[in-house]
Amino acid sequence: MVDITPRAVDAIPPAEVPDVELYHPHSWWTTYVFSQDAKVIAIQYAGTAMAIGLVALVLSWLVRLQLGFPGTFDFITPEAYYQFVTMHGMIMVIYLLTALFLGGFGNYLIPLMVGARDMVFPYVNMLSYWIYLLAVLVLVASFFAPGGPTGAGWTLYPPQAILSGTPGGQQAGILLMLASLILFIIGFTMGGLNYVVTVLQGRTRGMTLMRMPLTVWGIFTATVMALLAFPALFVACVMMLFDRVLGTSFFMPALVEMGEQLSYGGGSPILFQHLFWFFGHPEVYIVALPAFGIVSDLISTHARKNIFGYRMMVWAIVGIGALSFIVWAHHMYVSGMHPWFGFFFATTTLIIAVPTAIKVYNWVLTLWRGDIHLTIPMLFALAFIVTFVNGGLTGLFLGNVVVDVPLSDTMFVVAHFHMVMGVAPIMVVFGAIYHWYPKMTGRMFNEWMGQFHFWVTFIGAYAIFFPMHYVGLVGVPRRYPELGETAFIPDSVHTLNAFITVAALIVGFAQLVFLFNMFWSLRYGRDAGGNPWRATSLEWQTPTTPPPHGNWGKEVPLVYRWAYDYSVPGAPQDFIPQNDPWPEKAAPA
Amino acid sequence: MSVVIVFILVIAGISFWWLAQQRLMSKPWLEQGAAGVLPGLESTGVPTAKLGLGVFLAVVGCLFALFASAYFMRMELSDWRAPPLPSVLWLNTGLLILSSVALHVAVMAARRNQPDMLRLALVAGGLTTLAFLAGQMTAWRTLADGGYFLTGNPATSFFYLLTGMHALHILGGLVGLGWAMAGAWREGASARIAQRVELCAMYWHFLLLIWLALLVLLAGWANDFIDLCRQLLT
């Protein structure tokens, strides 16, 4: 080993840092509600995201009930179906996954993992959550607005999004949707500034960038991307609001509606698509990169082995982040673009598979001859790898223009992005919650309920989305509430659709077991201790569990090594915490 | 989307340049040792608030780059008729430059610990900024009086949208300036206030830059250049 210390360890000044700068709460309100502690904000973010996520889960049931048993449920009209689909998509992608990974895990893990006492701008951080909550409330309000929420599809393509034929198009639905998105982006920007600057400035002594756990790398890079990508959605929303409310023609072409010439003219719907997907594609990786990072840490910890190719993992994360800004138009192959454009974007899309594949190989090679513990977090991490490979491979199909054009409007696309962007990140969300639950609460979750939750969710997700690929390949179109009597669609498709719906209902109900487990274990779970997984990274080394405001007590930790020293030959135990000076004998006082 | 791609490339360039100094080639699994021995690698050395503002300005820059991209893409369509530029914009530009200069003077005064000069410069900066906003309102009135309304033509719509967005950012900046002023009156030119004033000046310079870019855009000076780029690309 190369010892990069030029002097003896005892030359290091004491790591005592006064925490007088911290805003210490004095009342119940400022401790639990208007808290500036990143960990409380994290739990607020996660709680809100999961609550609105449950709404989206119920919406997906309604969508599936209609597809599986068309005509059975009178209240699911075609308009209602489109509203359910739209809100399900928008909530899951933005209000659940983005908020949970960055606002939830970002807030909880960044300060703890880099050894900081809190985020660098705690007040702005608190504002970020409350604006996010406001955005969610505005979104929920659209369910109760006259005409209901918008049914424009989660991509909100104009011109249909603001015409009277679309549910909510000429009513409050689309206005509340756009307002909510604008609020979300403002709130996220406040949080995002914190995550980035805390990683840049808040790292404790010895925590160089290349010693950070990959979780922090993933969340950091995703945040940088989100800060640059969300403005595109902001611009699109503002311009669409202008079109809808003030009658400008940014996106709206001249058109006749119900025999009546509208006042719009000359606008470009394609312009909206460019703006939307300039945000929309990085968004995929804004969700995926934190998942990549977290899964690397879960695998390393639960296989008791250092992560394979740490440097390569870091470079791949940064590389994917940069590349994801030049692939957006692969969502627009069917918009009538120039063939050379399609060729360019197909090429960049396939190139992005290279760093992604590097990551998959590295995860598998980390598992190779590891001491694999099949704990609940590990099961979810393994399920992620399998699912991500599955969804990623169909992505290679769809990245090619000639394959995408016939498949673009079929259920194949639905199956693809649910595998890669729905199921895979959700597996990581569950794995991460099970992994860090003992740190957040000081108690272990119930193992058997966890096993039940995992197996039903994992097998159930495949029961839902595997058949959907076949349904798509026979040409069943997406976006249709009912297939009706269609010659090319065989009966087996209807049987499969019913099967998928039953599976979706079962998987949905299994999530109640997860929620029950979280609340039950809070009270009845056995005591977890400070470091139940015997992990190396800093968050497991806090003096008390759960960590208090300020995290570290009197001294911030001093970092001697990277985050992956598992099973080091000659070490007294099979892991060496990052703040352990081994093989030096005494830690500096 | 070429404007925003260029912007993203610049950001990526800065990021990679910075990352390249962070020992990305190091082998952390071989290197163990105590902290405090890797100077410059633990934080950037820039004050945290300044770095935070810098990141925020990158986001603002991205926002305006996207608006500019949308502007150029919409411009290609046949119904585009640019409105005449109200001449008051030249006065406004002068005012915004003056306010930027005033805030620069304020930074100097704060560093040299001259509280009176600091207060004077802050007030001058605030007043010229307010005058700029009033001037922008006048420009809107001039356009509306000439029959160029928001809904008339996409070029006019963009004029209102872009100047409005810029004015909103200036208004946000005025809140920060008020905060710096309150401090300057209470504590004079302390180090804390000096930092606040520096942040304001940084924000003002950036918004001046954005304004000059918008002016180039709205006056159509970039059109020939864009045509050239378009020919090269096709």
User: How far apart are the C-alpha atoms of A534 and A72, rounded to whole Å?
Assistant: 53
pLDDT at A121 over 70: yes
Question: What pLDDT, on a 0 to 100 scale, did the predictor assign at position A507?
Answer: 96
Helices B48-75 and B191-219, axial angle in degrees (round to 10): 10
Contact at CB, A325 and B8, closer than 8 angstroms: yes
Query: Which residue intervals of A31-153 are DSSP H helices?
Result: 38-68, 78-90, 107-114, 122-144
Is A11 a member of any domain?
A: no
Question: What pLDDT, on a 0 to 100 scale, did the predictor assign at position A143?
Answer: 95
CATH number at residue A194: 1.20.210.10
Is A85 a member of any domain?
A: yes
Question: What pLDDT, on a 0 to 100 scale, did the predictor assign at position A14?
Answer: 42
Amino acid at A329: A
Counting Cα atoms < 13 Å in the Cβ hemisphere of B123 gives: 7
Mean pLDDT (chain B) is 90
Range of the domain at A285: 36-249+273-536
- Nearest CA to A161 out of A65, A273, A66 is that of A273
Contact at CB, B154 and A558, closer than 8 angstroms: no
pLDDT at B35 over 80: no
Q: Which residues of A421-432 are buried (b: 16+ CB within 10 A; e: fewer)?
A: bbbbbbbbbbbb
Q: Among the listed ranges B24-38, B63-77, B188-202, which one has the minimum average pLDDT value? A: B24-38
- Search chain B and give the residue with CA nearest A4: B33
pLDDT at B44 over 70: no
pLDDT band at A315 (very low <50, low <70, confident <90, very high): very high
Give the mean model confidence (pLDDT) for residues A61-80.
93
Tokens coding A381: 């991490």
pLDDT digits (tens, 9 = 90+) for A525-545: 999 989 999 999 999 999 998
Is A457 a member of any domain?
A: yes
pLDDT digits (tens, 9 = 90+) for A173-186: 999 999 999 999 99
Counting Cα atoms < 13 Å in the Cβ hemisphere of A211 gives: 30
- Nearest CA to A474 out of A484, A463, A464, A486 is that of A486
Q: Can you say how many angstroms the Cα of residue A34 is from the centroid of all Cα atoms in its chain?
A: 25
Mean pLDDT (chain A) is 91
Q: Can you say how many angstroms the Cα of residue A340 is from the centroid of all Cα atoms in its chain?
A: 33
Chain A residue numbers touching B36 (CB-CB < 8 A): 12-13, 205-206
| Residues composing chain A | 589
Is A177 a member of any domain?
A: yes
pLDDT band at A6 (very low <50, low <70, confident <90, very high): very low
Question: What pLDDT, on a 0 to 100 scale, did the predictor assign at position A12?
Answer: 43
How close does chain B come to A428, measured CA to CA in Å? 26
Q: State the total domains in chain A.
A: 1
Amino acid at B109: A
pLDDT at B100 over 60: yes
User: How far apart are the C-alpha atoms of A228 and B63, rounded to whole Å?
Assistant: 8
Is A298 a member of any domain?
A: yes
pLDDT at A16 over 60: no
pLDDT band at B38 (very low <50, low <70, confident <90, very high): low
Chain A residue numbers touching B34 (CB-CB < 8 A): 5, 9, 12, 206, 558, 560, 581, 588
DSSP A9: G
Is A401 a member of any domain?
A: yes
Interface of A with B in 16-75 (CB under 8 A): none
Give the mean model confidence (pLDDT) for residues A133-142.
96
ipTM for this prediction: 0.94
Is A553 a member of any domain?
A: no
Give the mean model confidence (pLDDT) for residues A89-115.
96
DSSP A476: P
pLDDT digits (tens, 9 = 90+) for A102-112: 999 999 999 99
Give the mean model confidence (pLDDT) for residues B193-205.
95
Contact at CB, B42 and A208, closer than 8 angstroms: yes
pLDDT band at A488 (very low <50, low <70, confident <90, very high): confident
pLDDT band at A28 (very low <50, low <70, confident <90, very high): confident
Tokens coding A588: 């500096």
- Nearest CA to A39 out of A585, A539, A558, A543 is that of A539
How close does chain A come to B22, measured CA to CA in Å? 7
Opening angle at CA A103, ends A99 and A106, nearest 5:
130
Counting Cα atoms < 13 Å in the Cβ hemisphere of A184 gives: 31
Opening angle at CA B21, ends B17 and B26, nearest 5:
130
In this structure, the strands spanning A2-3 and B31-32 are parallel
DSSP A334: G
Higher pLDDT, B221 or B88: B88
Query: Which residue intervals of A202-213 are DSSP H helices?
Result: none
Q: Can you say how many angstroms the Cα of residue A243 is from the centroid of all Cα atoms in its chain?
A: 31
Walk me through the domains of chain B, giving residue ranges and CATH numbers.
2-28+38-233 (1.20.120.80)
- Search chain A and give the residue with CA nearest B63: A231
In this structure, the strands spanning A256-257 and A260-261 are antiparallel
DSSP A294: H
Give the mean model confidence (pLDDT) for residues B84-110.
95
pTM: 0.94
User: How far apart are the C-alpha atoms of A524 and A443, rounded to whole Å?
Assistant: 8
Is A24 a member of any domain?
A: no
Do A61 and A510 form a contact (C-beta atoms < 8 A)?
no
User: How far apart are the C-alpha atoms of B216 and A56, rounded to whole Å?
Assistant: 46
Contact at CB, A248 and B151, closer than 8 angstroms: yes
